[in-house]
Amino acid sequence: MSVNTNTVLRALRELRDERLLDFRRGHGVRVSGTPQRGAVIARARELLSFARQQGYPPEELITIIQALR
């Protein structure tokens, strides 16, 4: 496929960090998340980026979100 190995590994690590993949020694890689979770993570990243642009630190954004419960 002519894709750099480092690019693939970086993508796999990112999916693991988002809890969409699970790496198990001796068992390979398994899908552990859902497309919905991936969509929520993408939106959360957008919100975090927007909040930073508006001058809000992540801690304050967390406080705002918790107040919405």
- Length of the chain (residues): 69
Q: What is the structure's pLDDT at 46? A: 94
DSSP state of 1: -
Q: What is the structure's pLDDT at 64? A: 94
Q: Which residue ranges make up each domain of the chain?
A: 1-33, 35-69
Where the chain has pLDDT below 50, the residues are: none
pTM of the model: 0.62
Residue 60 φ then ψ, to 5°: -70, -35
